[in-house]
């Protein structure tokens, strides 16, 4: 496709970079306090279907559906990226 067509598409299409922070290991210090570590997992998606602290549904740029359900709340970061064409 021409560069003009890609430029025109990039005005309307968006991609999202979603980083989900899952609870990792919990360490108990000698003074009795507990410290939980967080492990990040990053997804590049074309659409966000649902996002809350315990339920996340995303459609990846590869057209796969990712659904994450947790008992404990997880943290997440959402970044909007400029759409870029991909080779199929």
| pLDDT per residue as tens digits for the range 79-88 | 998 877 776 5
Nearest alpha-carbon partner for 23 in 40, 47, 7, 2 = 40
pLDDT tens column, 1-57: 688 888 887 788 889 999 999 888 888 888 989 888 889 999 999 999 999 999 999
- pTM for the full model? 0.76
In the chain, what is the greatest distance between 2 CA atoms, to the nearest angstrom? 64
Cα atoms found within 13 Å of the Cα of residue 37, Cβ hemisphere only: 7
Q: Which two tokens stand for residue 51?
A: 């996002």
């Amino acid at each position: 496709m021409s560069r003009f067509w890609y430029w025109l598409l990039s005005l309307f299409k968006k991609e999202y970079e979603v980083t989900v922070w899952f609870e990792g290991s919990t360490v108990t210090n000698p003074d009795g306090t507990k410290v939980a570590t967080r492990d990040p997992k990053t997804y590049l998606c074309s659409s966000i279907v649902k996002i809350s602290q315990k339920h996340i549904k995303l459609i990846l740029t590869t057209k796969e559906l990712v659904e994450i359900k947790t008992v404990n709340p997880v943290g997440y970061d959402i970044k909007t990226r400029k759409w870029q064409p991909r080779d199929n």
